[in-house]
Structure 1
Amino acid sequence: MSPATNAWPLGGPISAEPRINDRIRVPEVRLVGPNGEQVGIVPIGDALKLAQEADLDLVEVAATARPPVCKLMDYGKFKYESAMKAREARRNQAHTVIKEIKLRPKIDPHDYETKKGHVVRFLKAGDKVKVTIMFRGREQSRPELGFRLLQRLAEDVKELGFVESAPKQDGRNMIMVIGPHKKKSEAKAEKAAARGPREAAEPEAGDQG
């Protein structure tokens, strides 16, 4: 285990292995208890004794502070939980799908309802939706038309999703991202429950997952 070279915030991600227990070679430390309580500045010997009595580790969490900040914790458990959280975050990131819908600022009512239906379907499936307003010719001088259309769409689907990225101009286009209220896993579970045990065991035709 190599000594930490950078400080890391309490409870934050670990960029390098911190020093623990007798690897912490300083005269005194600012000690934080296992529940986040501030113990104060204590000699390193006292801090190590407290850790041993509590059957915990003394972990340096802010090496560049003067004196360094150390916390009493079960370091093995902490590392395990951090690894699980990181794995879950990667899994959720890998499953994030962004669908795209393109609209014209002067879209007719029927086309609007059709496009809105697609957005509703995507959000119900737990997918994010990137909505792009495409301006052509003189329409580029009327960005407010696109902004109002995006606001209208966000309002129409607010029960299913929220504006994750507010409307912004991108060249000739205006873009907004709507995120689903429900995670993809929740949407799938609800869909399977609605189909019933017999149907849920069979893949639905055209189901993209």
Structure 2
Amino acid sequence: MAVLMNEQIKASEVLLTGIDGEELGVMPRDEALALARRHKADLVCLSLMSSPPPCKLIGKGTAKEAALREKRNTDPGRTLKVKEIRLTVGIEDHDYDTKRRQADKLLTSGHPVQLAVRLQGPKQGAEAKALLERLSADLSASGKRATGIQVSGKGAAVQLNPLR
């Protein structure tokens, strides 16, 4: 949610709180803006869900910094999806190294990784578990297990989270 400040607030009246948290009551927006200028502060709208909207006087620049910090922390681009890497039980060494490097790259960039092994028959469960044990041990420098190795009917999987 964007922070509305100063002239961006369009309501004719606001419920104002002072710099030290004291209640100043309902007053016209223009009067609240003049008060903010006198105190060298910003008029910040706290919520648009009520009428008149509650606003607060906050020291100059503090509100913008807080809004930027909040945006950085809750940026939709920062939600990290779990990336899946699929393997088979009969994987060759070269392909294994490629998958390991791929998982390592994802983990060091901060993404959690789901390692999944597809099983062709019921007897491959132990082999799949051994493969996932080996791969998670090889990736221990960049990630740690979030779950244990889960072997079900048609597959085996383990999730690794980045260390940082």
Unaligned runs of 5+ in 2: none
Q: How does 1:134-149 map to 2 (within 5 A)?
A: 134-139=118-123
* 8 Å CA contact 2:84, 2:116 repeated in 1: no
User: Which of 11, 14, 31 is residue 24 of structure 1 equivalent to?
Assistant: 11
Going from structure 1 to structure 2, the CA distance change for 1:156 and 1:43 (only over 3 Å counts) comes to same
RMSD: 5.2
- Relative contact order (alpha carbons < 8 A, sep ≥ 6): 1 or 2 greater? 2
Q: 2:85 maps to what in 1?
A: 100
For 1:158, the aligned partner's letter is S
In the superposition, the TM-score normalised over structure 1's length comes to 0.44
Residues 99-140 of structure 1 deviation map (CA, whole Å, 9 limit, x = unaligned): 734142xx69xx689736742565157455542111223258
Q: Which residue of 2 aligns with 1:61?
A: 46
- Count of aligned pairs between the two proteins: 153
1:161 aligned residue: 143
Return the TM-score normalized by structure 2: 0.52
Tell me the distance in 2 between the aligned counterparts of 1:161 and 1:133.
Answer: 18
Contact kept, 8 Å, 1:103 with 1:131, in 2: the verdict is no
Q: Structure 1 unaligned runs (5+)? A: 1-12, 183-209
Structure 1 residues 103 and 55 mapped into 2: Cα distance closer, same or farther (>3 Å)?
farther
Are 1:59 and 1:72, in contact at CA under 8 Å, matched by a contact in 2?
A: yes
Q: Deviations over 1:158-207 (max 9, x none)?
A: 2212447876789833444545557xxxxxxxxxxxxxxxxxxxxxxxxx
